[in-house]
């Protein structure tokens, strides 16, 4: 009976000593980590002043009936093939400049950090 108890206790300690301790370092074995900063989306805003807009044919478009159509056509010319939606917070300021925000979508779902801010002068 004593031998069965001793065998049971000895058997319970064998798996615990089969592997090296946590602090032990061996060549080729190290803790692997992933740097999440490598996968962060970077923001690349582009600001254009009036002089550059007047000379850049990519940014110079013909005025449409409404400022929403003008902003939509500008985004289509800058990013062809992209789908997007107009955010409902567009307005015309006291100085006459219209501010339109658009969000890029994929399969009807908004993409984070893919925002377009278009300001249309009268």
What tens-digit pLDDT sequence spans the chain (122 residues)? 666 665 666 665 555 555 555 555 556 666 667 777 777 777 777 776 666 666 666 656 666 788 898 888 888 888 888 899 999 989 999 999 999 999 999 998 998 888 888 888 87
- pLDDT attached to residue 48: 67
- pLDDT attached to residue 92: 93
* In a domain? residue 56: yes
Record the pTM: 0.53
- pLDDT attached to residue 106: 92
Instruction: Residue 110: give its domain's CATH number.
Output: 3.10.450
* In a domain? residue 86: yes
Helices (H) and strands (E) in the chain, counts: 3, 4
Range of the domain at 62: 46-120
**How many domains does the structure of the chain reveal?**
1
Task: State whether the Cα torsion 61-64-82-85 is positive or negative.
Answer: positive
CA distances, 88 to each of 22, 85, 91 (Å):
55, 9, 9
* In a domain? residue 78: yes
């Amino acid at each position: 009976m004593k031998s069965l108890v001793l065998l049971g206790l000895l058997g319970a300690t064998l798996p615990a000593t089969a592997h090296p301790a946590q602090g032990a370092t061996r060549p080729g074995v190290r803790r692997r980590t992933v740097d999440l900063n490598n996968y962060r989306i970077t923001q690349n805003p582009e600001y254009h002043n009036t002089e550059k807009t007047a000379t850049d044919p990519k940014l110079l478009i013909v005025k449409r009936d409404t400022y929403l159509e003008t902003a939509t056509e500008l985004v289509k010319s800058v990013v062809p093939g992209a789908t997007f939606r107009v955010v409902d917070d567009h307005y015309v300021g006291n100085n006459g400049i219209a501010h339109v925000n658009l969000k890029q979508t994929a399969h009807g779902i908004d993409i984070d950090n893919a925002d377009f801010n278009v300001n249309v002068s009268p």
